[in-house]
Amino acid sequence: MLKYGPGKKLVRFMVWLNWPVIKAGKKWSAVPVLKWIINPFFKRPHNELTSIPISINVNLPKSVALPRTVLEKLVSKIDDIFILDECICRAHNHVATDDRRVGCIALGPAIKRMHPSHGRRASTEEAIAHIRRAGEFGLIANVAHVWIGLNFRQLMFICFCDDTNCMYRTHMKSRGPNLDRAFKKLPGVTVRVDRKKCDGCELCVDKCFVSAISMKDGKAVIGNDCKGCGRCVEVCPRHAIILTLDDEDKLLRQIEDRIRQVADIPGITG
Protein backbone atom coordinates (compact mmCIF):
# COMPACT_ATOMS: atom_id res chain seq x y z
CA MET A 1 0.00 0.00 0.00
CA LEU A 2 1.24 3.51 -0.77
CA LYS A 3 2.12 5.53 2.30
CA TYR A 4 0.33 8.65 1.08
CA GLY A 5 -2.58 9.57 -1.13
CA PRO A 6 -2.16 11.77 -4.23
CA GLY A 7 0.07 14.85 -4.07
CA LYS A 8 -0.94 18.44 -4.69
CA LYS A 9 -0.16 18.48 -8.44
CA LEU A 10 -2.27 15.41 -9.10
CA VAL A 11 -5.13 16.72 -6.95
CA ARG A 12 -5.06 20.03 -8.82
CA PHE A 13 -5.32 18.14 -12.09
CA MET A 14 -8.19 16.01 -10.76
CA VAL A 15 -10.02 19.12 -9.56
CA TRP A 16 -9.51 20.78 -12.96
CA LEU A 17 -10.84 17.65 -14.67
CA ASN A 18 -13.88 17.23 -12.40
CA TRP A 19 -14.84 20.85 -11.78
CA PRO A 20 -17.05 21.18 -14.92
CA VAL A 21 -18.74 17.87 -14.05
CA ILE A 22 -19.50 18.96 -10.49
CA LYS A 23 -20.73 22.35 -11.70
CA ALA A 24 -23.03 20.75 -14.27
CA GLY A 25 -24.24 18.16 -11.76
CA LYS A 26 -25.28 20.86 -9.31
CA LYS A 27 -27.02 22.91 -11.99
CA TRP A 28 -28.86 19.90 -13.41
CA SER A 29 -29.70 18.25 -10.07
CA ALA A 30 -33.24 19.66 -10.22
CA VAL A 31 -33.89 18.92 -13.92
CA PRO A 32 -36.56 16.24 -14.53
CA VAL A 33 -35.13 12.80 -15.46
CA LEU A 34 -31.53 14.01 -15.07
CA LYS A 35 -32.04 14.55 -11.34
CA TRP A 36 -32.67 10.83 -10.78
CA ILE A 37 -29.24 10.11 -12.27
CA ILE A 38 -27.41 12.95 -10.52
CA ASN A 39 -28.96 13.09 -7.05
CA PRO A 40 -27.51 9.78 -5.72
CA PHE A 41 -24.03 11.33 -5.93
CA PHE A 42 -25.09 14.02 -3.44
CA LYS A 43 -26.71 11.60 -1.01
CA ARG A 44 -25.83 11.21 2.67
CA PRO A 45 -23.45 10.09 4.07
CA HIS A 46 -21.19 10.79 1.08
CA ASN A 47 -21.88 14.52 1.30
CA GLU A 48 -23.00 16.55 4.30
CA LEU A 49 -22.19 20.12 5.28
CA THR A 50 -23.11 22.38 8.17
CA SER A 51 -22.31 26.10 8.16
CA ILE A 52 -20.76 27.84 11.16
CA PRO A 53 -20.89 31.68 10.94
CA ILE A 54 -17.41 32.47 12.32
CA SER A 55 -17.00 36.04 11.08
CA ILE A 56 -20.06 37.87 12.40
CA ASN A 57 -21.21 39.33 15.68
CA VAL A 58 -24.46 37.71 16.75
CA ASN A 59 -27.09 38.41 19.39
CA LEU A 60 -25.96 36.34 22.35
CA PRO A 61 -26.06 36.68 26.12
CA LYS A 62 -22.68 37.68 27.57
CA SER A 63 -22.31 34.19 29.02
CA VAL A 64 -22.57 32.52 25.61
CA ALA A 65 -19.60 32.17 23.24
CA LEU A 66 -19.51 33.22 19.59
CA PRO A 67 -19.94 30.35 17.09
CA ARG A 68 -16.24 30.56 16.26
CA THR A 69 -15.48 29.55 19.85
CA VAL A 70 -17.70 26.48 19.49
CA LEU A 71 -15.68 25.46 16.43
CA GLU A 72 -12.46 25.99 18.38
CA LYS A 73 -13.76 23.70 21.12
CA LEU A 74 -14.54 21.07 18.51
CA VAL A 75 -10.98 20.96 17.14
CA SER A 76 -9.65 20.90 20.70
CA LYS A 77 -11.19 17.46 21.13
CA ILE A 78 -9.40 15.97 18.10
CA ASP A 79 -5.73 14.93 17.95
CA ASP A 80 -5.44 14.29 14.21
CA ILE A 81 -5.33 17.73 12.56
CA PHE A 82 -3.94 18.67 9.13
CA ILE A 83 -4.01 22.22 7.71
CA LEU A 84 -3.95 22.57 3.93
CA ASP A 85 -1.65 25.39 2.85
CA GLU A 86 -4.12 26.77 0.29
CA CYS A 87 -7.81 26.64 -0.60
CA ILE A 88 -8.29 24.11 -3.40
CA CYS A 89 -11.21 26.08 -4.86
CA ARG A 90 -9.52 29.49 -4.83
CA ALA A 91 -6.33 27.94 -6.23
CA HIS A 92 -8.33 26.34 -9.05
CA ASN A 93 -9.83 29.73 -9.91
CA HIS A 94 -6.41 31.44 -9.74
CA VAL A 95 -7.46 33.81 -6.97
CA ALA A 96 -4.60 36.19 -6.15
CA THR A 97 -5.86 37.54 -2.81
CA ASP A 98 -4.42 36.47 0.55
CA ASP A 99 -7.42 34.32 1.47
CA ARG A 100 -6.18 31.77 -1.08
CA ARG A 101 -3.69 30.75 1.65
CA VAL A 102 -6.51 29.89 4.05
CA GLY A 103 -6.94 26.19 3.28
CA CYS A 104 -9.26 23.60 4.77
CA ILE A 105 -8.58 21.86 8.06
CA ALA A 106 -8.74 18.06 7.79
CA LEU A 107 -9.64 16.07 10.90
CA GLY A 108 -9.43 12.37 11.75
CA PRO A 109 -7.12 9.34 11.42
CA ALA A 110 -7.20 9.46 7.60
CA ILE A 111 -4.99 12.57 7.65
CA LYS A 112 -2.02 10.23 8.21
CA ARG A 113 -2.25 9.40 4.49
CA MET A 114 -2.50 13.00 3.28
CA HIS A 115 0.50 13.85 1.13
CA PRO A 116 2.89 16.40 2.75
CA SER A 117 2.73 18.58 -0.38
CA HIS A 118 -0.78 19.65 0.68
CA GLY A 119 0.22 21.15 4.02
CA ARG A 120 1.18 20.01 7.49
CA ARG A 121 0.12 18.27 10.66
CA ALA A 122 -0.97 20.92 13.15
CA SER A 123 -1.47 21.41 16.86
CA THR A 124 -4.74 22.51 18.45
CA GLU A 125 -3.31 26.00 18.91
CA GLU A 126 -2.36 26.25 15.24
CA ALA A 127 -5.84 25.08 14.18
CA ILE A 128 -7.51 27.68 16.40
CA ALA A 129 -5.30 30.44 14.99
CA HIS A 130 -6.21 29.27 11.47
CA ILE A 131 -9.96 29.43 12.27
CA ARG A 132 -9.57 32.97 13.61
CA ARG A 133 -7.66 34.04 10.49
CA ALA A 134 -10.44 32.66 8.30
CA GLY A 135 -12.97 34.69 10.29
CA GLU A 136 -10.90 37.84 9.77
CA PHE A 137 -11.14 37.26 6.00
CA GLY A 138 -14.93 37.02 6.25
CA LEU A 139 -15.02 33.35 5.18
CA ILE A 140 -17.83 30.95 6.08
CA ALA A 141 -16.79 27.78 7.94
CA ASN A 142 -18.42 24.55 6.73
CA VAL A 143 -18.04 21.35 8.69
CA ALA A 144 -18.01 18.94 5.76
CA HIS A 145 -18.05 15.20 5.19
CA VAL A 146 -17.30 14.51 1.53
CA TRP A 147 -16.56 11.40 -0.50
CA ILE A 148 -12.90 11.39 -1.57
CA GLY A 149 -10.30 8.71 -2.23
CA LEU A 150 -8.95 8.49 1.33
CA ASN A 151 -10.86 6.56 4.01
CA PHE A 152 -13.66 9.09 4.09
CA ARG A 153 -15.33 7.44 7.08
CA GLN A 154 -12.35 8.58 9.16
CA LEU A 155 -12.09 12.07 7.71
CA MET A 156 -13.90 15.38 8.17
CA PHE A 157 -13.09 18.82 6.84
CA ILE A 158 -13.61 22.34 8.07
CA CYS A 159 -13.69 24.33 4.83
CA PHE A 160 -13.46 28.11 4.78
CA CYS A 161 -15.56 29.30 1.88
CA ASP A 162 -16.22 32.51 -0.01
CA ASP A 163 -19.23 33.26 -2.19
CA THR A 164 -17.70 33.19 -5.67
CA ASN A 165 -15.16 30.36 -5.78
CA CYS A 166 -16.30 27.69 -3.37
CA MET A 167 -17.29 24.30 -4.72
CA TYR A 168 -19.91 24.06 -1.96
CA ARG A 169 -21.47 27.54 -2.05
CA THR A 170 -21.68 28.21 -5.80
CA HIS A 171 -24.42 27.00 -8.17
CA MET A 172 -26.80 26.24 -5.28
CA LYS A 173 -29.72 28.52 -6.15
CA SER A 174 -31.42 25.83 -8.27
CA ARG A 175 -30.64 22.45 -6.75
CA GLY A 176 -32.02 18.96 -6.45
CA PRO A 177 -33.42 17.46 -3.23
CA ASN A 178 -30.36 15.43 -2.21
CA LEU A 179 -28.07 18.39 -2.73
CA ASP A 180 -30.42 20.51 -0.65
CA ARG A 181 -30.52 17.92 2.14
CA ALA A 182 -26.72 17.55 2.10
CA PHE A 183 -26.36 21.17 3.23
CA LYS A 184 -27.88 21.02 6.71
CA LYS A 185 -28.64 24.01 8.87
CA LEU A 186 -27.28 23.75 12.38
CA PRO A 187 -30.17 23.34 14.85
CA GLY A 188 -30.26 26.21 17.30
CA VAL A 189 -29.42 28.84 14.67
CA THR A 190 -32.20 31.33 13.94
CA VAL A 191 -32.11 34.09 11.30
CA ARG A 192 -34.82 36.74 11.22
CA VAL A 193 -35.49 40.18 9.73
CA ASP A 194 -36.32 43.32 11.72
CA ARG A 195 -39.02 44.71 9.44
CA LYS A 196 -38.72 48.18 10.96
CA LYS A 197 -35.08 48.43 9.82
CA CYS A 198 -35.38 46.67 6.45
CA ASP A 199 -35.60 49.17 3.58
CA GLY A 200 -36.16 46.58 0.85
CA CYS A 201 -32.80 47.00 -0.89
CA GLU A 202 -32.78 43.26 -1.80
CA LEU A 203 -29.01 42.91 -1.30
CA CYS A 204 -29.60 39.93 0.97
CA VAL A 205 -31.81 38.32 -1.70
CA ASP A 206 -28.98 38.59 -4.22
CA LYS A 207 -26.31 37.31 -1.82
CA CYS A 208 -28.15 34.29 -0.39
CA PHE A 209 -26.43 31.29 -1.96
CA VAL A 210 -29.52 29.05 -1.69
CA SER A 211 -32.18 31.66 -2.62
CA ALA A 212 -33.78 31.33 0.80
CA ILE A 213 -34.71 35.03 1.03
CA SER A 214 -37.67 36.56 -0.74
CA MET A 215 -39.46 39.91 -0.66
CA LYS A 216 -42.95 40.43 0.74
CA ASP A 217 -44.59 43.85 0.93
CA GLY A 218 -41.21 45.44 0.26
CA LYS A 219 -39.46 43.64 3.14
CA ALA A 220 -37.07 40.69 3.18
CA VAL A 221 -38.39 37.36 4.45
CA ILE A 222 -36.17 34.44 5.52
CA GLY A 223 -37.53 31.14 4.16
CA ASN A 224 -37.34 27.58 5.43
CA ASP A 225 -34.43 26.77 3.10
CA CYS A 226 -32.08 29.04 5.09
CA LYS A 227 -28.81 27.22 5.91
CA GLY A 228 -27.81 29.58 8.72
CA CYS A 229 -24.48 30.65 7.19
CA GLY A 230 -24.90 34.27 8.30
CA ARG A 231 -23.82 35.94 5.08
CA CYS A 232 -27.03 38.00 4.88
CA VAL A 233 -26.32 39.38 8.35
CA GLU A 234 -22.91 40.60 7.18
CA VAL A 235 -24.06 42.26 3.96
CA CYS A 236 -27.19 44.05 5.21
CA PRO A 237 -26.37 47.79 5.21
CA ARG A 238 -29.23 48.52 7.60
CA HIS A 239 -28.28 45.82 10.14
CA ALA A 240 -31.84 44.58 9.78
CA ILE A 241 -31.04 40.84 9.78
CA ILE A 242 -30.41 39.18 13.11
CA LEU A 243 -28.82 35.80 13.80
CA THR A 244 -29.31 34.20 17.20
CA LEU A 245 -27.87 31.00 18.64
CA ASP A 246 -28.66 28.54 21.39
CA ASP A 247 -26.17 28.12 24.20
CA GLU A 248 -22.59 26.99 23.53
CA ASP A 249 -22.84 23.48 24.97
CA LYS A 250 -25.97 22.70 22.98
CA LEU A 251 -24.40 23.94 19.75
CA LEU A 252 -21.30 21.83 20.32
CA ARG A 253 -23.41 18.72 21.00
CA GLN A 254 -25.38 19.32 17.80
CA ILE A 255 -22.19 19.51 15.71
CA GLU A 256 -20.77 16.40 17.38
CA ASP A 257 -24.01 14.49 16.76
CA ARG A 258 -23.86 15.42 13.07
CA ILE A 259 -20.30 14.11 12.86
CA ARG A 260 -21.13 10.84 14.67
CA GLN A 261 -23.85 10.10 12.13
CA VAL A 262 -21.45 10.08 9.18
CA ALA A 263 -17.88 9.59 10.44
CA ASP A 264 -15.63 7.90 13.00
CA ILE A 265 -13.42 10.64 14.44
CA PRO A 266 -11.64 9.80 17.73
CA GLY A 267 -12.35 12.47 20.32
CA ILE A 268 -15.85 12.95 18.90
CA THR A 269 -17.14 9.43 18.36
CA GLY A 270 -15.33 7.83 21.30
The C-alpha atoms of residue 48 and residue 157 are separated, in whole angstroms, by 10
Domain locations along the chain? 8-172+247-262, 189-245
Is the per-residue pLDDT at 11 higher than 50? yes
Residue 21: which H helix or E strand, with range? Answer: helix 8-28
Residue 103 · residue 91 · CB < 8 Å: no
Given this model, what pLDDT does residue 148 score? 61
Non-local CB neighbours of 119 within 8 Å, separated by 6+ positions: 82, 83, 84, 85, 103
Q: What burial class does residue 162 get, using C-beta atoms within 10 Å of its C-beta: 0-12 exposed, 13-18 middle, 19+ buried? A: buried
What does the pLDDT look like over 93-148, one tens digit per residue? 999 999 999 999 999 999 999 999 999 999 999 999 999 999 989 899 988 877 66
Q: What is the mean pLDDT of the chain?
A: 86
For CA atoms 183, 223, 247, 254, the dihedral sign is negative
Given this model, what pLDDT does residue 42 score? 66
What does the pLDDT look like over 207-217, one tens digit per residue? 999 999 999 99
Residue 261: which H helix or E strand, with range? Answer: helix 248-262
Please, which pLDDT band fits residue 61 given cuts at 50, 70 and 90?
A: very low
Helices of type H across 108-172 = 124-136
Architecture field, domain 189-245? 2-Layer Sandwich (3.30)
